[in-house]
Amino acid sequence: MAKTLRHLGKPSRLPASPQAATLDRVANPHPDTEYVARFTAPEFTTLCPITGQPDFAYLVIDYAPGKWLLESKSFKLYLGSFRNVGAFHEDCTVAIGKKLVALLKPKFLRIGGYWYPRGGIPIDVFWQTGKLPANVWLPDQGVAPYRARG
């Protein structure tokens, strides 16, 4: 396990911003095994940086862990910290992916940000890095192109 888990098993407050949030990681109990872990956040929320109106997305994150796994409670708090912050869809999606890569150093990571329409136009953002290990099953992210999602 990590030296000090800051959130797991302890009361935690929602951070004021993504910059103020802390993410925890734990040791991968199967570092000798190639596999993919998936996080989905179907109710991700942030604010439009211009109008201050809420923006909503369905995030899907797949990663092939190396030495580290993402601790889910700290991740939930990190995602919640975007609720009162203004950021464009592209910025949120890519910044989350890069933050996870810096923390976990996975073999592979991809993030799909499926954003609900603003001004009648949905914006979907995709980013990935690393190489998927051979013979690892990577399922489709399971989110259809926008057709009145819900």
Q: Where in the sequence numbering do the catalytic residues fall?
A: 48, 55
Cβ proximity of 6 and 74 under 8 Å? yes
d(CA 32, CA 3): 21
Contacts of residue 96, defined as CB under 8 A and 6 or more positions apart, other chains included, come to 59, 61, 79, 111, 113
SS3 103: helix
The dihedral through the CA atoms of 90, 24, 73, 68 has a sign that is: positive
d(CA 95, CA 83): 15
Direct distance between the N- and C-terminal alpha carbons of the chain, in angstroms, rounded to an integer: 38
